[in-house]
Chains A and B, each alone.
Chain A
């Protein structure tokens, strides 16, 4: 192992987090390299110096201030609260739903009456069909000539 390669492993070796293989490699290098040995020793002294920086104390008001800020936060909304944003809106939607179901269940009167009338007319036409179709009988029927002329119905079959 050369000095450049040891750079990545030296810190982990010194803080005791290097693997056993890495540790052996670093130890072998330090045994041979005086410069890296000196550097490692100075790192150790440096860490002692860095420990001189004191710890800061948290102010006594810290917790109270944080609790007050949390209390001022808007309350957490549940899924149900998200689905039903307001009771008024929920009521209006429900009423609309009931109304639409009721309207769709009541049968409409108009189309049913027209249907019955149409089927009666069709039945009458079918009943008279053999007579109407006999054109010679109708053309030579004297009694018919005395009748006033009938308005022509465009829909009537010929």
Chain B
């Protein structure tokens, strides 16, 4: 990053190449929309490019990167929630349900059925993570998927390491309860899944 600050555009390209995919993944898990995630990732890199002169190496670059990303994602979610509330005032409908298109279950084709079950599991996981309070969600994503150290996550979330550990425990505890049917061995899950899938269609 110091090279980028000195005006080395090639170093910026290296940063982009190294952090683009993990950043888009993090944002995608935050906002659950790939197009929005890419837009936000673009905005993160653009802000870093604009602020490169002000970069002070007193913290890790990733701390800076993910703090910007977290703030942008949370703002985007709040804006989207606000818009959704305005739109849904006159429209009855179930919020919080999956945004996947309705699935027509075909006749018994094991390959497709398994695919649908896998898709359903992924959607449940995403929904459970998304239902966590904002801070817990960010903590889980940075801990589980970005594999960041506790001190770095604590800096991004502006809390103590001790508070972060409690936050993570509460978040995983919620997920453990929410995803209990998936946590059971796959054999048990498979026997329950078709009934649930049928209810959703």
Contact = CB atoms under 8 A, between A and B. Distances in A.
B169 interface: yes
Contacts of B175: 46, 50
A46 B49 contact: no
B23 to A, nearest CB: 9
Contacts of B24: 56, 58, 62
Q: Looking at chain B, what size class is its interface with the partner chain?
A: 35 or more
Query: What is the interface of chain A mostly: helix, strand, loop, or mixed?
Result: helix
Contacts of B143: 11, 15
Contacts of A54: 122
A7 B41 CA distance: 34
A53 B134 CA distance: 19
A49 interface: yes
Nearest to A57: B21
Contacts of A7: 166, 169
Contacts of B42: 62, 65-66, 69
B126 A53 contact: yes
Interface in A14-28: 15, 17
A15 B150 CA distance: 11
A30 interface: no
Contacts of B28: 56
Contacts of A11: 143, 165, 168-169, 172
B16 A52 contact: no
B121 interface: yes
Interface string A1-43: 0000001111110010100000000000000000000010011
A156 interface: no
A52 B165 contact: no
A46 B172 contact: yes
Contacts of A17: 149-150
Given A8-B162, A62-B42, A52 B122 contact: yes
Contact of A56 (B37, B45, B50, B166): B37
A58 B38 contact: yes
Nearest to A49: B182
Interface in A71-114: 73, 76
A63 interface: yes
Contacts of B121: 49, 52
Contacts of B78: none
Given A42-B176, A56-B24, A76 B53 contact: yes
Given A46-B176, A63-B16, A73-B46, 6 more contacts: A7-B166, A9-B165, A39-B176, A46-B175, A56-B25, A70-B46
Minimum-distance CB pairs A-B, first 7: A56-B28, A8-B165, A45-B183, A7-B169, A58-B24, A49-B182, A11-B168
